[in-house]
Amino acid sequence: DGGITQSPKYLFRKEGQNVTLSCEQNLNHDAMYWYRQDPGQGLRLIYYSQIVNDFQKGDIAEGYSVSREKKESFPLTVTSAQKNPTAFYLCASSEDSYGYTFGSGTRLTVV
Amino acid sequence: QQPVQSPQAVILREGEDAVINCSSSKALYSVHWYRQKHGEAPVFLMILLKGGEQKGHEKISASFNEKKQQSSLYLTASQLSYSGTYFCGTGGNWAGTALIFGKGTTLSVSS
C-alpha cells in the first residue's frame, strides 16, 4: 500500500544536539511538506518542497533545515538553534489540486 | 496568515448537525478540510477549488465563498466517529503554494 512513513515515532533530544526526522513516501508525489503541531496552535508550516533539489521556507523555518535529494525522501533536521523543539512533527505529500496525505508523525521531546 | 476557524469547540449528541467556519484575509485558490483524532495524523476530508470544483468525502459537504474568502464545513446527522479536531487549510493564488492551517475546531459527539 502507498503511504508516508515517518520515523522514529518518538525521539528524545538533549540540549545542543541536532536530530534528524525521517520522512519517506511511495506515492510518487512531487510535493512534500513539514508541519509542526503544538497544542492549540494548529499545524504550522516549517518547510516545503515542490520538486527534487528545491525547497522553500515556511512560517517557522528558523532552527530547522531540510534536503530533497530524492523524490521519495524529505528529511527534517532540528538544529540546536531551535530553542523550543518539543512538539509533534508531521510530514505530508500531495499531488496538484488533491488532498494531502500525512504520515503518522514524530513526537520530539527535549530532555 | 493563518485562517480563522469558528467555533473553537462544538459539543453534539448523535444525529445533530454542526457547521464549522473558516475565513481568510487573503485571496484563496483552494480550501482543504481535515479531521484529526487524538495522537493520530490528520485525514483528508474535502478540497474546494476556486471556480467551484469539489472533491472529497461522500457524507460531508462544504461551501466556498471566493469573494468573502470563507468556507464552511457541514456535518449532518453526526455520528460518534465524527469526533475529533477539524482543520481548514488555505492555499494561495496558485496550486504550488503550501497550505496554511487554522488552529482547529474540536468536535465532541456523544450518544
Q: Note the helical H segments in chain B.
A: none
- In DSSP terms, which residues pair with A44 in a beta bridge? A36
pLDDT band at A39 (very low <50, low <70, confident <90, very high): confident
Give the pLDDT score at B29.
Answer: 82
Is residue B90 left, alpha or beta, with left meaning phi > 0 and alpha meaning psi from -120 to 50? beta
pLDDT tens for residues A91-109? 999 987 678 999 999 999 9
Chain A residues whose beta carbon lies within 8 Å of the beta carbon of residue B45: 99
Q: Which of A6, A95, A97 to mutate to test the interface with B (most CBs of B within 10 A)?
A: A97
Q: Nearest residue on chain A to B29, judged by CA atoms?
A: A97
Contacts of B41 (CB under 8 A, 6+ apart): A90, A102, A103, A104, A105
What pLDDT is attached to residue A27?
A: 94
pLDDT at B102 (0 to 100): 95
Q: Which residue reads 459527539 in cell numbers?
A: B109
Nearest to A96 among B46, B95, B102 (CB): B95
Neighboring chain B residues of A50 at a CB cutoff of 8 Å: 96
Residue position matching grid coordinates 511511495: A26
Q: Residue B70 pLDDT more than 80?
A: yes
Which pLDDT value is given to residue A20? 97
Q: Is the pLDDT of residue B95 over 60?
A: no
What residues in A contact B43, CB-CB < 8 Å? 102
What is residue B58's predicted lDDT score, i.e. its pLDDT?
Answer: 66
Cα separation of B42 and B103, whole Å? 13
Mutate to test the interface with A, among B34, B99, B105, B106 (most CBs of A within 10 A): B99
pLDDT of residue A75: 98
Percent of chain B with pLDDT over 90: 61
Counting residues of chain A whose pLDDT is more than 90, the rounded percentage is 81
For cell 457547521, name the residue: B19
Least CB-CB distance to A40: which of B2, B32, B103? B103
- Mean pLDDT throughout B30-49? 92
Query: pLDDT (tens digit, 9 = 90+) per residue, A7-29?
Result: 999 999 888 899 999 999 999 99
